[in-house]
Amino acid sequence: MLVLDDGAMRMEPAGDLWGLSARETEAILTERLGLCFHFAVIGPAGERLVRYATISHNNRHAGRGGLGAVMGSKRLKAVAVAGSQRVSLANADAVVALAATCRSARSVPRQRSTANWARSATC
């Protein structure tokens, strides 16, 4: 498990978590590290390198393309993050403009078809 704690990084053993579901892993890590941490974890699918395994965070899932399998291939069960400093954006105006572009692209009704849906390359 990779732990990022207010700018410090360390690796901790997580063999006792191997085989547990993502929800069970998050519950145990919350007890172990505290409520100030947020976790990105994999479940058994990621451990078994299933090609569409996801990474879970607060019962939400990311990476249908197999990002959970990437973590599993590195034998990384979880990433735990806590911090007290805000991160400043290098180009805040560009982030606001990108968010507006994505928001307007999502508000346009899409036609369902067998073809791929067109999306903005920046979203």
pLDDT in tens, 63-111: 878 999 999 999 999 999 998 888 788 898 998 999 888 887 766 565 5
Q: CA 15 from chain center: how many Å?
A: 21
Q: What is the DSSP letter of 57?
A: E
Fold of the 2-82 domain: Aldehyde Ferredoxin Oxidoreductase;  A, domain 1 (3.60.9)
Tell me the per-residue pLDDT of 25-49, one tens digit each, with 9 for 90 and over. Answer: 999 999 999 999 999 999 999 999 9
Can you give the pTM of this predicted structure?
0.71
pLDDT of residue 118: 46
Residues 6+ apart with CB under 8 A from 38: 57, 58, 80, 81, 82
Instruction: Outline where 15-119 has alpha helix (H).
Output: 22-33, 44-47, 67-73, 92-107
Q: Tell me the domain boundaries of the chain.
A: 2-82
